[in-house]
Structure 1
Amino acid sequence: MSKLPPPALSALHAFLLFTFFLTVSSDFTSDVDLTWGGQRGQISDGGRLLQLSLDKASGAGFQSKHEYLYGKIDMQIKLVPGNSAGTVTAYYLSSQGPTHDEIDFEFLGNETGQPYILHTNVFTQGKGNREQQFYLWFDPRADFHTYSILWNQQQIIFSVDGTPIRVFRNAQGVGIPYPKDQPMRLYSSLWNADDWATRGGLIKTDWTHAPFIASYRGFGADACVWSSGRSLCSATKARWWAQSLDSNGAQKLKWVQKNYMIYNYCRDTKRFPQGPPKECSLSGI
């Protein structure tokens, strides 16, 4: 596995980082609601820090106060340290209902010394099964790192610290549904999934290490807020509207996928013996 740093920032990636610093929220109390887990969800440091904890009785979660229809969402997360096997920290956008759309980051915990797995997925009209998984080029337990979703009419770009790791393009022209009509809210949760999360469920959660804690800061939503059945989006809030990867961005994406991707549904011949799903033929999927 290559340990070289990713290629230099492209103009788009510099833009992504710049807009992150422009749009960071300083107060979780005004932007999110703690939705379950009771006192296992805590906001502190004047609203700048949010922590979720997991014990044997329950995990915890929160959601954004607003729904969005297109935009760029950033969050700095420091994942559960030490032996995190069996735990999942989920961070995603989702609409509601049986035909929901969803854009997922899920961080699968591991035994001490073993790397986290970053699991990504895209649901359109209730259909997912588009998993890609990655290792990271740093220890996500040691410090905060920025995980971003750029969602516009052309594509969805998953990024880590400004480095794109996955692109899901709008392929409606070849009959693939794309999340474009349903507003989505940001959700995050910390929960026990030791029936599948670590080595397919072979490694169980060691509750002697509880409580497990994931920490959040720097939530930014440069996005079109959905309210009363319509999108409230000014021109200044649509800087990302037509953004896509340039040649340097594509180079960085290839670097990540060559060195750190560990699973791609498009290459799973056992799962798709008749050939990969139609969208897999598109560049960047």
Structure 2
Amino acid sequence: MKKMPLMKEHFMLVGILIFCTIEDARSLDGHYTLPNVTHLTDLFHHQTLNQAFLTSFGSSNIHFGNNGSNVQLTLNKTSGSGLISLNKYNYGFFSSAIKLPPGYSSGVVVAFYMSNADLFPHNHDEIDFEFLGHENGKQWILQTNIYGNGKTNIGREEKFRLWFDPTEEFHQYSIIWNSHHIVFLVDNIPVREVENIGVMSAVYPSKPMSVYATIWDGSEWATNGGKNPVNYKYEPFVASFGEMEMEGCVWISARSVPSCSKGGQEGPSTVDPVEGEDFVKLSQQQKMGMDWARNKFMIYSYCKDPGRFPVLPPECRMR
């Protein structure tokens, strides 16, 4: 995943632009009435990770458990580690329950994302959940991002603080990706929607992608712009993944179009995450849930960063 270094002046400006609700969002001990939304994760079966994924890197730091239904990915001085899905998908619903490393975690990056950089190295697409470590282990930052058609010169990042401690127990992180929109969800609550309309259509991820789960050293940029690198005195850093769901159109390279299938087997899905009613647009409840999440917990948006973009990306000017 390509990351671009940011200037010191940019970070000063970001500090000014952070929303006034950040103090509320910082309190992990706060009690929040969570929005009532449909639990989309209840609609799909869980994948067996050791059958649905291959090793991407760091095989010695990958440990499957519970008959392959969950996995621990470790970062230490030797290596990070990661998995790549056996199948590639062209649209669908993708979700994992994740528990992040506790304690000091500066510079550590845990990622659950989709990419086709291996197939299209100069014209790739990407949809990212990235978790950025912190000096205070409870204060992980959730970053979402998308790239389309190789347009990596513009990072479309949005950052959130979470309303829970992500190191204490598993929480669900999900992606809806189809021809209508991309939606990022945390415990089934939408936190971001990217619609495939207007100027976004030219940079909208549209080519088959693999699913990745990784942990790695992001010392150069992840925490306070690289000021707080990974301190291996606190290793190992262990991220746990489970309840993996990958439901959509499996891409078969021998065909000119993807084939919708369930669990990698030929045949129609019993629930179609590409065009089904629950997936083509947000319900009123989901919209209210997204407003709640963004108003209380979003701390950075590329569309509110004129220091980084003197001329804001065109989709920002449409909001």
Corresponding residue for residue 124 of structure 2: 100
Tell whether the 8 Å contact from 1:224 to 1:237 is kept in structure 2 after alignment: no
Moved over 3 A (4+): 172-176
C-alpha displacement of 1:171: 2.1
Determine if the alignment matches structure 1 residue 119 to structure 2 residue 156: no
Determine if the alignment matches structure 1 residue 7 to structure 2 residue 32: no
Tell whether the 8 Å contact from 2:62 to 2:82 is kept in structure 1 after alignment: yes
Tell whether the 8 Å contact from 1:171 to 1:177 is kept in structure 2 after alignment: no
Partner residue of 2:307 out of 248, 270, 277: 270
Corresponding residue for residue 259 of structure 2: 232
Structure 1 residues 54 and 269: CA distance shift in structure 2, 3 A = same
Q: Return the letter of the residue paired with 1:59.
A: G
Tell whether the 8 Å contact from 1:171 to 1:279 is kept in structure 2 after alignment: no
Q: Return the letter of the residue paired with 1:23.
A: H
After superposition, residues 155-174 of structure 1 pair within 5 angstroms as: 155-172=181-198
After superposition, residues 51-62 of structure 1 pair within 5 angstroms as: 51-62=72-83
Partner residue of 1:32 out of 30, 53, 56: 53
1: CA distance between counterparts of 2:223 and 2:200?
Answer: 36
Corresponding residue for residue 145 of structure 1: 171
Structure 1 residues 142 and 261: CA distance shift in structure 2, 3 A = same
Structure 1 residues 190 and 239: CA distance shift in structure 2, 3 A = closer
Q: Return the letter of the residue paired with 1:236.
A: T
More strand by share: 1
Tell whether the 8 Å contact from 1:76 to 1:218 is kept in structure 2 after alignment: yes
Determine if the alignment matches structure 1 residue 71 to structure 2 residue 103: no
Deviations 1:198-253 (A, max 9, x none): 11111122211111110111111111101123311125352442521122211111
Determine if the alignment matches structure 1 residue 136 to structure 2 residue 173: no
2: CA distance between counterparts of 1:175 and 1:212?
Answer: 38
Q: Return the letter of the residue paired with 2:65.
A: S
Partner residue of 2:288 out of 251, 273, 277: 251
SS of the counterpart of 1:57? coil
SS of the counterpart of 2:294? helix
C-alpha displacement of 1:35: 2.0
Corresponding residue for residue 279 of structure 1: 315
2: CA distance between counterparts of 1:17 and 1:189?
Answer: 21
Corresponding residue for residue 222 of structure 2: 197
Tell whether the 8 Å contact from 2:138 to 2:167 is kept in structure 1 after alignment: no
Q: Return the letter of the residue paired with 1:252.
A: G
Corresponding residue for residue 275 of structure 2: 241
Tell whether the 8 Å contact from 1:29 to 1:47 is kept in structure 2 after alignment: yes
Please list every run of 5 or more consecutive structure 1 residues that lacks an aligned counterpart in the other structure: none
Please list every run of 5 or more consecutive structure 2 residues that lacks an aligned counterpart in the other structure: 1-23, 261-267
Question: Superposition RMSD on alpha carbons, in Å?
Answer: 1.7
In terms of mean alpha carbon deviation, does 253-262 or 230-239 score higher?
Answer: 230-239
Q: Return the letter of the residue paired with 2:275.
A: W
